[in-house]
Structure 1
């Protein structure tokens, strides 16, 4: 498979994962961590790390906003139990 096509497929799958998590806010991070070994915060750390590897510096808060779809504090107030 061509590397650019693979990257597009992986990016589309990642966006779908974010949409899915965004639609299922009832699933708490602790539930994800217990069942899957990762949570939204892990994804934000991986996102920031990937950005850094590409020479793009972003803050933890910006990375979390990219994953949560809103500021992290807003998400916690709305959805965290």
Structure 2
């Protein structure tokens, strides 16, 4: 990667993260289990990563606040509006992926 100064690099990474959140927000039809099956991360993972990064820096960020940031609304609201029940095929793929990771 181009050798940007640290501030510019941080700004670019933050902008890319915000763009990722906008992209996920524009594609609410993409379910978390699909993201997990294809990319091994989902919106909840992003929320957990935010919490972990805050903790590493001595900051306090609770998981629900992080999820509201990632989802753009309280998670319970997003779940009620947009989350669909996982299909048997999605669940089987998820379980197979988890088994491969553990084995």
Q: For 1:22 and 1:29, locate their aligned partners in 2 and report how far apart those are by CA, in whole Å.
A: 12
Unaligned runs of 5+ in 2: 85-103
Q: CA RMSD in A?
A: 0.6
Match of 1:70 in 2: 73
What stretches of structure 1 move > 6 A for 4+ residues in a row?
none
TM-score of the aligned structures, taking structure 2 as reference length: 0.77
Match of 1:12 in 2: 15
Q: For 1:4 and 1:33, locate their aligned partners in 2 and report how far apart those are by CA, in whole Å.
A: 31
- Pairing 1:24-63 to 2, within 5 Å after superposition: 24-63=27-66
Report the count of equivalent residues.
81
